[in-house]
Amino acid sequence: MSYPLRLAACECLHLSVVQRLCPGGAEYCDVNQMLFQWVMPPNSEPYHLVNAVLAALREFGIAAEFDSMQFKVRGARIGTLAGGQRESASLFLGGVYLSYDSDSLNQTLREPIREATTSLWAEASHPFAPEMIQDTLLTHFAHELKRPIERDTPRVEETRAAKKIEQTMLRVLESE
């Protein structure tokens, strides 16, 4: 398998490398990102998730748009959303940047990214803690999906589906 990452640089920076199950290139994740993952019925579209993220950003005074699997503010990427089919489910992975460390990211890539990026802390109209964006995202996800979301308590079906995907992923990574 070919990686767009410089694996030796990742090792030197003590960064784990994990292959995701969704399409897309390398995604750099660190503590300065608010990540989310959704397992949904097959052939689901992400528009509910997109609407929830855009509404949450608006609450922090950030006027963003969604284009080509990226959340953007004045053309600068502030987050991403990728999705794909995995067995009998749609899997969506996304995140928004609380802060963005392009220096560390570019050390890990074979070709540096020269794309414009920004972050919630750079764009927000007022300071906030990461828990505030997490709570706001959960509120908007619940509204858009039209169901309650209890923090840290997935439904039984969700737990079973996530466990099955995790087992499949571990088998795939072990065989490579």
Q: Which tens digits make up the pLDDT trace of 24-57?
A: 566 667 778 888 888 888 889 999 999 999 999 9
2 domain-assigned: no
Q: Which residues contact 163 (CB under 8 A, 6 or more apart)?
A: none
Domain span at residue 45 reads 7-175
Is the residue at 1 inside a domain?
no
- The confidence score (pLDDT) of residue 112 equals 74
88 to 3, 42, 111, 163, 164: CA distances (angstroms): 27, 6, 35, 14, 11
Question: What confidence tens digit (pLDDT) does each residue in 111-133 have?
Answer: 777 789 999 999 998 888 999 99
Question: Contact 56/132 with Cβ under 8 angstroms?
Answer: no
Residue that has been written with the tokens 């080509």 in this structure: 68
Domain CATH number, residue 24:
3.30.930.10
Indicate whether 20 belongs to any domain.
yes
- Classify residue 95: in a domain, yes or no: yes
Percent of the chain, pLDDT > 70? 85
- pLDDT per position as a tens digit, 80-98: 998 888 778 888 989 999 9
Which residue from 135, 144, 172, 117 is spatially nearest to 48, judged by alpha carbons? 144
Number of domains in the chain: 1
Q: Which of 69, 80, 85, 74 is nearest to 28 (CA)?
A: 80
Beta bridge partners of 92: 38, 83
What is the Cα–Cα distance from 176 to 174, expressed in whole angstroms? Answer: 6
